[in-house]
A and B are shown apart, each in its own frame.
Chain A
């Protein structure tokens, strides 16, 4: 298995532009998580899906952020318009409820908003 796949790995954009981050979870996993990591705030859960349905989006910073999961093998996190304070590493993770509920993380997308 290739693990969780995220694209792009790096994104540099200008303030005001739309940014779309993509994630392909591990096949067979029914939960998907989007996290943001910064030095100041550490690792923050933005939103998670169970069986493609958003369960908790209370971590989404504001209306500029949106996430979709149209099917079990694909999810997007969109920021529109982007701002410099959105610069961070964004991780996608997937998992399945089981004995100890391990989450498998992707390599992350490093976003820089100028």
Chain B
């Protein structure tokens, strides 16, 4: 069945790089996404990557996509305490429309 897997927890020191990993199942996914959820709030799109790309960089964020291994990663450079949040990997599900399948989320804790 369809499933998106992520590690549940990551702790880093302020200023270090954070790498959050994800594996997905649907090789036909056109887009893959990273969402961020801050405490008490809904999810917000952080970045996305088109499936024909290997890498996408957006300021401190770098997304790497390995289609062969169905592996997606999010690297946050110079991690700040404000980056502490839950990060969700998502792929577009099958069927009609565009429902997403989300991972369980990785809780990132940035220590000062």
Contacts and interface: CB of A to CB of B under 8 A. Distances in A.
Interface of A: 4, 31, 33, 35, 41-43, 45, 48, 50, 55-56, 91, 93, 95, 97, 100-108
Interface residues of B, number: 23
Given A42-B104, A43-B102, A48-B97, A102 B45 contact: yes
Is chain A's binding surface mostly helix, strand, loop or mixed? strand
Given A45-B99, A56-B95, A107 B42 contact: yes
Contact of B96 (A50, A102, A104): A50
A100 to B, nearest CB: 5
B100 A103 contact: yes
Nearest to A39: B104
B31 A101 contact: yes
B42 A100 contact: no
Interface of B: 31, 40-45, 48, 50, 88, 92-93, 95-105
Contacts of B40: 107
B100 to A, nearest CB: 6
A33 B31 CA distance: 18
A41 B102 CA distance: 11
